[in-house]
Amino acid sequence: MELREFYEYVAAAEVNSEHPLAKAIVDHAKKFKEEDEYVTWTEARDFISITGHGVKAIIGNKELVVGNKSLMLDTGIQIPEQALDLLLEAEEMAQTGILVAINREIFGLIVISDPLKPAAKEVISILKSMNVRSIMVTGDNWGTATAISREIGIDTIFAEAKPEDKVEKVKELQVLSYGTSVSFFNFISHIPLMLDFIRCLG
């Protein structure tokens, strides 16, 4: 399968998702259709979005599962050692690895970098000088979250949190000894950068 065809399938599944990373993948896939006057994708059937994990869909005659490691394991899809190594490598560089399974076999890994906002490290430094404790609650995996927290100087992190988990964690922190005032900062750019390569496996 050529790269263009690969992205045709992945974009057809992800175009139905509202997640920023899904939108980044679709935008990247459009680069392979620049000669087309109108960019269209094959209609997905049986589309399911699993919050915090990824998506499932039938594209043509192929079953696609696109998402994180947890989604693959929950779906009963075995992840080869090579893919696990690449995921770990991505996490250590504060990048997000998205696995792509076609017909229940891992076919590729898309790596996306969520660039930090330029002022992130400075803001955390200022807060520390004011004796304000910074805590990061994120849906990112632990590897990526740890790398980001080290880069900007956050000591306490809660990773792999679903949206409802984030709300509960904030409520929990409010009743602990951290005070009743909680402010929210988004240190990640809303426009993820797609690394211009795909690691095809097998």
Dump pLDDT digits (tens) for 20-58.
888 888 988 888 877 776 778 889 999 999 988 899 999
Q: Domain check: are 13 and 76 in the same one?
A: yes
Report pLDDT for 120. 80
Burial class (CB in 10 A: 0-12, 13-18, 19+), 160: middle
Same-domain pairing of 26 and 7: yes
Q: Which residue has the tokens 């097998």?
A: 202
Q: Both tokens of residue 132?
A: 């304000």
Q: Which domain holds residue 30?
A: 3-114+191-200
Q: Among 115-119, 146-150, 174-178, 188-192, name the most confident range.
A: 146-150
- Count of domains observed in the chain: 2
Can you give the pLDDT at residue 47? 95
Residues 37 and 130 grouped into a single domain: no
CATH of the domain at 22: 3.40.1110.10
pLDDT digits (tens, 9 = 90+) for 99-151: 999 999 998 888 887 777 778 888 888 888 888 788 888 877 788 788 888 88
Is pLDDT larger for residue 138 or for residue 202? 138
Asked whether residue 185 is domain-assigned, the answer is no
Amino acid identity for residue 2 in this structure: E
Check residue 49 and give its pLDDT.
93
- Of residues 154 and 75, more confidence is placed in 75
Work out whether the CA dihedral 156, 162, 166, 169 comes out positive or negative: negative
- Distance (Å, whole) CA 194 – CA 25: 7
The model's pLDDT over 75-103, given as tens digits with 9 standing for 90+, comes to 999 998 888 888 888 888 778 889 999 99
